[in-house]
Amino acid sequence: MNATVIAAAPAVSTTRYMRYLLFIAGMGGLLYGIDIGIIAGALPYLEATASQAWKLSTQQLGFIVAAVLLGSVVSSLFAGALADLVGRRGAMVLSGALFTVSIPLIALADGYGPLLGGRLLQGISGGLIGVVVPLYLAECLGADHRGRGTGLFQLMLTIGLVVAALIGLYQAQAVDALAATASPETLAVAKDQAWRRIFWMCLTPGVVFTLGSLLLSESPRWLLSRGRVDAARAALRRGTDESRAEAEWQAMRQSREEQVSRDGSSLWRRRYVLPFLLACLILACTQATGINSILAYAVNILQSAGLPGATANSADVAIKVINAVMTVLAVGLVDRKGRRFLLMLGSGGIVAALLMAALLFTRAESGRVDQRAWVQAQVQADALELPLDASRWHSLAAHAGNAVQQLTVSYSYGSFTNVQTFRSDVPAQVIQISRTDVVQPDGPVGAFFRRLHLNPFANPASAAAAPLVIEQALVGPVPTVTHGWWVAASIFAFVAFFAVGPGVCVWLALSELMPTRIRSNGMSIALLINQFVSTTIAAVFLPTVGRHGYAAMFLFWAACTGVYFVAVWLLLPETKGRTLEQIEAVFARR
């Protein structure tokens, strides 16, 4: 009996450590989700108070929102090199420390500079977490647990989005309760404190993740790559039972010896190029499903589909809940059914859901009339200020009867474009268009590319004297509530299939497919491509919807997801139950 107890002790210790490792990695996913979602609840109060106290322009507020994306892109460039330099655990500690430092910098900010700097730090932290946590999990977890462990990162990411929304909702309720009785001065102070408290409430997860990462073992594969053989073997045994640790150790040693012998060989060999390109393709296709745009504009989409404002907001909450619930299901399936099966199931279901939404919008948008000439005639001195009262709605849609009408105006100053949408059942609306609100000031990035004659950005110089052009003014009846619920059902299905397939498996594809020699830097490049595709789709979403309608956007996403399904079907090997070294050998044999 004593021998049994002694033999069981290491297994208990290993189990406890693995639970601790997954908890800390999950906290990393939580921080990533908070990074993305926290500004949504804070922005209304930040806009109401900081714009008055600090005289922030609309453009500066836009920079504050976008700073997280910019910081994430920047850190993705060097995340792999940093993880190679200081180790996976060291990079995790640094990412948590940056997030923790950003909180007081933002919450105590007394001007634009500290606020923007804190948001940039949050973005840098998020970019590092997105690379190093899945990298660490892939290199530390055994083949039987790697899917669920990495899936937990995605689950906690979705929970982070929900937590950010709940924090914002809690502060919003406090401000609303005060609004009925407080003076304007007191209410202004309450709004200022609200956005600061929203950020302060995110401090605890950052501290837990930072301090908790210090107690983790370093990745055994990173230690082995640095020649620290004893430390690598000890780290492997800490997280895996003895028999599996020994088998995996032998595979790691053999792979390391082969890698040393190949260190002078070209990185353009198929064992490196094929998995790298496949991982990049899967990440790009994941964003090309339209997931980020659908989540960001869900309320707008559902309102345009026919749901009233409050109902559309309730449906938006349901979307986030479905995302989290289905992610829990996917975490339980990923090591049983396999990555390839879930990706094919998810991408196939996404195609069906997107086509359903596209067909619904095609029918709803087919009856719209373009009143561009009438709206263009109201333009004076390259600007437009047009109150939408009952008489003007009658001029726009003379045969509408009592139906609620919707007007979508697309306009441009040179290469700068924008879209505005209005409904006839919303009182006191005004179409306001001016050059200062549309043409953004030149920045160093845009100027740099223009000097190279590449010009991917709109040019403020050419738009300075460009006339206001109304490109489209589409007006038609708002679809029925029943139609809106059918669109909501298609989006529910879309989110459910995404969570089951790409939502969980994309992080596995990012970390499992990359060979050891290029894993860290390859993951950085692949994640950068992922963010580039996401940013591009976000940039073209509103202009495309304004000119061609929601149906065109949903059809485009469906086509991209069809490519996703074919790529997984024809190119992706099943990685379930295989060690990283076995996966690498698959591509070496191809």
Band (pLDDT 50/70/90 cuts) for residue 573 is: confident
Residues 189 and 281 in one domain: no
What would the mean pLDDT of 410-433 be, rounded to a whole number?
78
d(CA 413, CA 321): 40
Calculate the alpha carbon distances from 171 to 35, 44, 73, 191, 353 in Å. 18, 11, 30, 9, 35
Contact 333, 500 (CB under 8 A): yes
Contact 291, 498 (CB under 8 A): yes
Looking at residue 516, the DSSP 8-state letter turns out to be G
Residues 189 and 59 in one domain: yes
Q: What is the pLDDT of residues 484-520, one digit of tens each?
A: 899 999 999 999 999 998 888 877 777 777 776 777 7
Residues 490 and 565 in one domain: yes
Calculate the alpha carbon distances from 28 to 34, 71, 288, 338, 377 in Å. 10, 17, 25, 24, 54
Contact 408, 301 (CB under 8 A): no
For the record, the structure tokens of 484 come out as: 């809106």
Output Rg (C-alpha) for the chain, integer angstroms. Answer: 26
In a domain, 555, yes or no: yes
In a domain, 302, yes or no: yes
Domain count, the chain: 2
Q: Which amino acid is at 589?
A: R
Residue 461 CB partners (closer than 8 Å, separation 6+): 442
Band (pLDDT 50/70/90 cuts) for residue 560 is: very high
Residues 582 and 495 in one domain: yes
d(CA 487, CA 481): 10
Q: Given this model, what pLDDT does residue 543 score?
A: 74
CATH number (domain holding residue 361): 1.20.1250.20
In a domain, 262, yes or no: no
For the record, the structure tokens of 403 come out as: 């139906």
Looking at residue 472, the DSSP 8-state letter turns out to be E
Nearest C-alpha neighbor of 533 from the set 512, 511, 552, 506? 506
Nearest C-alpha neighbor of 339 from the set 121, 579, 507, 464? 507
In a domain, 34, yes or no: yes
For the record, the structure tokens of 68 come out as: 């997280």
- Please say if the pLDDT value at position 8 is more than 70: no
In a domain, 31, yes or no: yes
Q: Given this model, what pLDDT does residue 4 score?
A: 41
Q: What is the pLDDT of residues 146-199, one digit of tens each?
A: 777 777 887 888 888 888 878 877 887 787 777 777 777 788 888 888 888 989
d(CA 341, CA 501): 8
pTM score, whole prediction: 0.72
In a domain, 566, yes or no: yes
Residue 295 CB partners (closer than 8 Å, separation 6+): 319, 320, 323, 495
Write out the DSSP string of 21-68: HHHHHHHHHHHHHHHHHHHHHHHHHHHHHHHHHS---HHHHHHHHHHH
d(CA 257, CA 312): 58
d(CA 354, CA 375): 33
Residues 50 and 145 in one domain: yes
| Domain end marker among 216, 250, 280 | 216
d(CA 370, CA 456): 30
- Please say if the pLDDT value at position 276 is more than 80: yes
Among 186-190, 334-338, 574-578, where is mean pLDDT lowest? 574-578
Average pLDDT value over all residues in the chain: 79
d(CA 78, CA 524): 7
With pLDDT > 70 as the criterion, what percentage of the chain qualifies?
82
What would the mean pLDDT of 230-248 be, rounded to a whole number?
74
* pLDDT top residue among 155 and 296: 155
Q: What residues pair up with 468 in beta bridges, in sequence order?
A: 413
* pLDDT top residue among 458 and 347: 347
| Domain end marker among 178, 200, 216 | 216
Q: Given this model, what pLDDT does residue 2 score?
A: 46
Contact 420, 409 (CB under 8 A): yes
Q: What is the pLDDT of residues 324-334, one digit of tens each?
A: 888 888 888 87
* pLDDT top residue among 73 and 5: 73
In a domain, 227, yes or no: no
Residues 206 and 328 in one domain: no
Give the SS3 label for residue 422.
strand
Residues 356 and 457 in one domain: yes
Q: Given this model, what pLDDT does residue 261 score?
A: 53
Residues 212 and 283 in one domain: no
Q: Given this model, what pLDDT does residue 5 score?
A: 40
Element (H, E) at 165: helix 146-179
What burial class does residue 248 get, using C-beta atoms within 10 Å of its C-beta: 0-12 exposed, 13-18 middle, 19+ buried?
A: buried
Residues 191 and 282 in one domain: no
Q: Given this model, what pLDDT does residue 357 score?
A: 94
What burial class does residue 456 get, using C-beta atoms within 10 Å of its C-beta: 0-12 exposed, 13-18 middle, 19+ buried?
A: exposed
What would the mean pLDDT of 219-243 be, rounded to a whole number?
80
Q: Residue 205 sits in which domain range?
A: 1-216
Calculate the alpha carbon distances from 241 to 89, 138, 511, 539 in Å. 21, 17, 23, 49
Residues 398 and 485 in one domain: yes
Give the SS3 label for residue 514.
coil
Residues 500 and 562 in one domain: yes
Q: Given this model, what pLDDT does residue 452 score?
A: 43
Nearest C-alpha neighbor of 586 from the set 575, 337, 172? 575
Residue 557 CB neighbours (<10 A): 25
d(CA 397, CA 400): 5
Residues 294 and 195 in one domain: no
Q: What is the pLDDT of residues 91-141, one digit of tens each?
A: 999 999 999 999 999 989 888 888 888 988 998 998 899 888 888 888 887
What would the mean pLDDT of 333-355 be, rounded to a whole number?
89
In a domain, 207, yes or no: yes
CA torsion, points 531, 537, 539, 543, in degrees to nearest 10? Answer: 180
| Domain end marker among 187, 216, 245 | 216
What would the mean pLDDT of 374-398 be, rounded to a whole number?
81
Contact 548, 257 (CB under 8 A): no
Phi first, then psi, for residue 483 (nearest 5°) are -60, -40
What would the mean pLDDT of 309-335 be, rounded to a whole number?
81
